């Protein structure tokens, strides 16, 4: 940090203060999403006063006015004053990403961050001290069964599925086009959750058949809550750790490897290698760290999240390459997308 902060930061720590208050900025956005501020403003099609918004959403006028002003301050809302009354409207960014109804809405991601990740991070000090997740302290669930905590109720499972859906609506296209995958006729997305990434795969490679393979309760919820008309993907139930995986030309592991310690990852990759057809491959999708440990900051933060919530970590390309080659895969290719998630392709 010292070599990146200017002399002026030593005179007055503007950047440090911005970091200190980062959690408050997050909570401003989280709170507005949970209250329905962005949905109301999008629906209204015209600027609204704090009094109007407060009345519609059942809040205090004073509290809502402060929240709206903070959203203006971080440039998520616009404000104009007429005859002494402030009228608020959404920016294009808020309409696109923060309102529920948008095709690229991150609303579900935000709700999960606010209601699940935020409480976990309150116990980060203990996670660092103990070197293990904080599901027991946060939710009263044993740390050994990560997905028992994540899927601890239908409501919580749907929140997690919403998070994953938002991730691939945002990043899916860049991931599936990071490499030319048209040579793979049958593709299985292991732990594919709602099917959002699989749908992006079908769009990019319409001649390929794409199957989402996940736990029975996940598949049931995906088909009930996230299905699309004329869906071109197929769902199949199973457990890729305890059971067999279906035969395929390409296996996709998107944000799966980072959940687990290396030994468990090697077991899964070896199972995939043994099932994979010759000339087939595996596509890993993760937020890759730099080899020099200097970022990306988002991947470093994700790695801390794996500490506090799961059993794994984010890794640099060399560690993924090591695991893939150790389990038999060759011709490892790495593609950094420049966005949240990167891709690694390896061939059997």
Quickly count: other Cβ atoms within 10 Å of residue 308's Cβ. 21
From residue 322, how far is each of 199, 215, 259, 318, 332 by CA, in Å? 30, 28, 17, 6, 10
Please name the residue that has the structure tokens 């808020």.
Answer: 94
Q: DSSP for 244-271? A: -----SEEEEES-GGGS-HHHHHHHHHH
Q: How far apart are CA 194 and CA 186, in angstroms?
A: 19
**Helices 22-35 and 61-73: crossing angle, nearest 10°?**
120
Assess whether 258 carries a catalytic annotation.
Answer: yes
Element (H, E) at 209: strand 209-214
Measured in Å, how far apart are the chain's first and last C-alpha atoms?
A: 42
Q: Which of 4, 173, 258, 322 is catalytic?
A: 258
For residues 282 and 346, the answer to whether their CB atoms sit within 8 Å is yes
- Catalytic positions: 258
């Amino acid at each position: 940090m010292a070599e990146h902060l200017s002399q002026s930061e030593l005179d007055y720590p503007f950047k440090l203060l911005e970091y200190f208050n980062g959690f408050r900025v997050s909570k401003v956005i989280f709170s507005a999403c949970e209250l329905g501020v962005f949905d109301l403003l999008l629906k209204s099609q015209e600027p609204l006063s704090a009094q109007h918004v407060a009345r519609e959403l059942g809040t205090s006028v004073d509290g809502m006015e402060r929240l709206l002003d903070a959203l203006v301050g971080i440039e998520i809302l616009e404000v104009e004053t007429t005859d002494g009354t402030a009228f608020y409207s959404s920016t294009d960014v808020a309409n696109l990403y923060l309102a529920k109804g948008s095709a690229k809405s991150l609303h579900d991601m935000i709700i999960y961050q606010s209601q699940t990740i935020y409480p976990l991070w309150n116990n980060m000090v203990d996670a660092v001290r103990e070197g293990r997740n904080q599901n027991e302290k946060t939710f009263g669930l044993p740390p050994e069964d990560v997905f028992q905590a994540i899927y601890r109720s239908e409501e919580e499972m749907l929140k997690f599925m919403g998070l994953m859906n938002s991730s691939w609506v945002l990043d899916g296209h860049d991931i599936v086009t990071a490499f030319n995958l048209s040579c793979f006729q049958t593709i299985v997305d292991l732990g594919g959750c709602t099917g959002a990434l699989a749908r992006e795969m079908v769009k990019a490679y319409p001649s390929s058949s794409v199957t989402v393979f996940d736990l029975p309760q996940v598949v049931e919820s995906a088909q009930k809550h996230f299905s699309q008309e004329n869906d071109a993907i197929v769902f199949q139930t199973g457990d890729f750790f305890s059971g067999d995986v279906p035969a395929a030309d390409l296996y996709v592991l998107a944000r799966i490897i980072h959940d687990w310690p290396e030994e468990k990852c090697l077991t899964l990759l070896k199972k995939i290698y043994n099932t994979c057809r010759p000339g087939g491959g595996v596509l890993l999708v993760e937020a890759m760290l730099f080899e020099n440990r200097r970022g990306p900051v988002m991947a470093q933060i994700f790695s801390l999240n794996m500490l506090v919530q799961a059993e794994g970590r984010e890794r640099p390309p060399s560690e993924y390459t090591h695991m893939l080659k150790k389990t038999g895969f060759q011709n490892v290719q790495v593609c950094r997308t420049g966005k949240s998630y990167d891709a690694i392709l390896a061939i059997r």
